[in-house]
Amino acid sequence: MLAALRRPLAHVLRLAAALALAGCAAPDETEPGPAPEPTEVAFPATFSWGAATAGFQIETGLADTDWGVWAATPGKIQNGDLPDAGPDAFAHVAEDVAALLAAGLDGYRFSIERARVYPTRAAFDADAPDPAGLAAYDGLLAALDAGGIRPMVTLHHFVWPRYMSDPALAASPQGWERDDAPAVFGAWCRRMAARYGDRVDLWVTINEPNVEAMIGYVAGYFPPGVSDPDRLADVLRRQVSAHAACYDAIHDDDATDADGDGASALVSVASHNRLYEPADPTSAADLAAVAHSRNFWNLWLLDAVVRGDVDLDFDDVVDVTADPGLVGRADYIGLNYYGTSRINAAALKLPYVGVVPAQFDLPNERPKNDLGWDIYPPGFGVVLDEVARYGLPVYITENGIADALDVNRSRFTAEHLFEVGKAIARGIDVRGYYHWSIIDNFEWASGFCPRFGLFQVDFTDPARPRSPTSAVPMLAELATSGRLTKSAIAALPPYQSKPSPCAGF
Ligand code: FCB
């Protein structure tokens, strides 16, 4: 079905802009009015307090992946950093579980890397997993279980084995574009559900499909590193089909109830949603660009996998309604929130659809993280209200701050959790919060410069020691008490403005 439409995307994007300017854009749903600011918020006793990572960002030995090839290519990563010089998580499992517990957390989101489990295509085709690869994830799950920490497993977090995506061959179909991608991904999910379904009930199929597609296929900072809006559109349409195949595979396994826990798997995507704002609120062009960006970035994917409603050509008009192959393929909304994008339609550096990576950082007075991203907690409330339309539970699958000097992390975390608490009080069923990240790690094209860890890692010391940031006791206290007051936030150090040392997207 999704392969049906092949009009050049640049054409439909221009059309979308024209329609939006003419007032013909899809009608916006009414946002709730502002509620009075509470002095305190509370979290349910069942709330999951967690932290998140991804395999490539914390493991070693993944050179035979698209990202391994990319990272080894001169000029692709800030300072030429290589992931093998990172936190080496499998050598530090006990420390990292202890770190989660010290931060008061009872949830850990991580990814299982296909290239570790099936290092070659022959091994994948023969379903002959690498014993050491499986043992690594078995050991991690056992350590989490011993610590009373509930796992959330991501099955695709940006990275492909090289036999599925090779930046050296970027002109030909890669990753999601390959004809065998749905079958390969579906089989991968089925096998992981069969192996780990007894220990894992929370699953993320694909992390941030929009980010992977946009940065890999338009902005060009991620592999395969091309700039072609038509390939971007193809990738996005294929990702939702692949997600549905993965969702069905996990639920097929869960329904057998081989582990006797009832059919309890919760499966979704992690969607990276942003608050979009016009650079000039009086500019019709900026407002139209904001409306389109919001549809494209925040709602397109969720409309497809929750409602089966697909805007095939990205013109902000749904072309397929309640597609039976897609509808109902999300048990919760996985929400990654980092901040805002301010849109100046007259200064777009990329095709219209590409406003996001180009315009994170238009000048404004807000405090910034070390990548220059705006710190704006109220935007979190807006995107939470926005996804409430789907009527599903919400897990915050990522939220965090790059802050090498550890001056802003406590306030950032507390203020964002206050917005989560307010959303719960408004009736949004937020079930958990996973901070990005538990430890400093390899931040994709920005290498080791951005420090997102609740625990800092000393990459100059071969032992890679972990040390807690100031947010750790704050978060532990909050997770234990389940209460957060405005006065506690007021007592935290104010934001410090500092230059952004890291190259952003
Ligand atoms: C998200 C990614 C995650 C990490 C954070 C900072 O977009 O999912 O891997 O890079 O940003």
Q: Give the per-residue pLDDT at 18.
A: 31
Give residue 225 CA to ligand 1 midpoint distance, Å. 18
Judged by DSSP in three states, 126 sits in coil
Count of beta carbons in the 10 Å neighbourhood of residue 45: 6
- Which atom, in ligand 1's list, is nearest to the CA of 207? 8
- The tokens describing 84, both together, are 């093998």
CA distance 285 to 343: 10
Query: For ligand 1, is residue 54 a contact (CB within 6 Å)?
Result: yes
Domains of the chain: 39-298+331-490 (3.20.20.80)
CA distance 388 to 239: 23
Give residue 122 CA to ligand 1 midpoint distance, Å. 31
Q: Closest Cα partner for 97 from 59, 48, 148?
A: 148
DSSP E strands in 160-319: the ranges are: 202-207, 266-278
- Which atom, in ligand 1's list, is nearest to the CA of 444? 10
User: Tens digits of per-residue pLDDT, 42-54?
Assistant: 999 999 999 999 9
Reply yes or no on whether the pLDDT at 351 is more than 80: no
pLDDT band at 500 (very low <50, low <70, confident <90, very high): confident
CA distance 468 to 405: 12
Residue to mutate, 211, 273, 416, 436, ligand 1, most ligand atoms under 8 Å from C-beta: 436
Count of beta carbons in the 10 Å neighbourhood of residue 343: 28
Q: Give the per-residue pLDDT at 363.
A: 75
Reply yes or no on whether the pLDDT at 108 is more than 70: yes
Give residue 57 CA to ligand 1 midpoint distance, Å. 9
Query: For ligand 1, is residue 212 a contact (CB within 6 Å)?
Result: no
Give residue 87 CA to ligand 1 midpoint distance, Å. 16
**Burial letters 6-20, b for 16+ CB under 10 A, else e:** eeebeebbebbbebb
Query: For ligand 1, is residue 403 a contact (CB within 6 Å)?
Result: no
Judged by DSSP in three states, 279 sits in coil
Residue 277's Cα: distance from chain center in Å? 21
Give residue 83 CA to ligand 1 midpoint distance, Å. 15
Would you list the DSSP string of 9-63? HHHHHHHHHHHHHTT-SPPPPPPPPPPPPPSEEE--TT-EEEEE--HHHH-S---
Reply yes or no on whether the pLDDT at 178 is more than 50: yes
- Full-model pTM: 0.93
Q: Give the per-residue pLDDT at 497.
A: 83
User: Tens digits of per-residue pLDDT, 54-63?
Assistant: 999 999 999 9
Give residue 216 CA to ligand 1 midpoint distance, Å. 14
Among 224-233, 288-297, 320-329, 356-365, name the most confident range: 320-329
Residue nearest to atom 10 of ligand 1 (CA): 443
Would you list the DSSP string of 292-358? HHIIIIIIHHHIIIII--B-TTSSSS--B-S-TTTTT--SSEEEEEEEEEEE-GGG-SS-GGGHHHH
CA terminus-to-terminus distance, the chain = 33
CA distance 317 to 298: 15
Give residue 171 CA to ligand 1 midpoint distance, Å. 26
**C-alpha distances in Å from residue 489, one per residue of 416, 426, 492, 498:** 11, 20, 5, 21
Reply yes or no on whether the pLDDT at 124 is more than 80: yes
Query: Mean of the pLDDT values across residues 400-410?
Result: 97
User: Tens digits of per-residue pLDDT, 471-488?
Assistant: 999 999 999 999 999 999
pLDDT band at 2 (very low <50, low <70, confident <90, very high): very low
Reply yes or no on whether the pLDDT at 209 is more than 80: yes
Query: Mean of the pLDDT values across residues 420-443?
Result: 98
CA torsion, ordered 353, 15, 28, 348, to nearest 10 deg: 30
> What letter would DSSP give residue 227?
-
Query: Mean of the pLDDT values across residues 316-338?
Result: 97
Q: Give the per-residue pLDDT at 357.
A: 46
Q: Give the per-residue pLDDT at 21.
A: 33
Query: For ligand 1, is residue 331 a contact (CB within 6 Å)?
Result: no
Residue nearest to atom 5 of ligand 1 (CA): 436
Query: For ligand 1, is residue 207 a contact (CB within 6 Å)?
Result: yes
Q: Give the per-residue pLDDT at 289.
A: 87
Q: Give the per-residue pLDDT at 262.
A: 87
Q: Give the per-residue pLDDT at 417.
A: 99
Give residue 294 CA to ligand 1 midpoint distance, Å. 19
Q: Give the per-residue pLDDT at 31.
A: 56
Between these two residues, 360 and 19, which has the higher pLDDT value? 360
Q: Give the per-residue pLDDT at 5.
A: 30
User: Tens digits of per-residue pLDDT, 55-87?
Assistant: 999 999 999 999 999 999 999 999 999 999 999
Classify 75 in phi/psi space as left (phi over 0), alpha (psi -120 to 50) or beta.
left
Count of beta carbons in the 10 Å neighbourhood of residue 318: 17
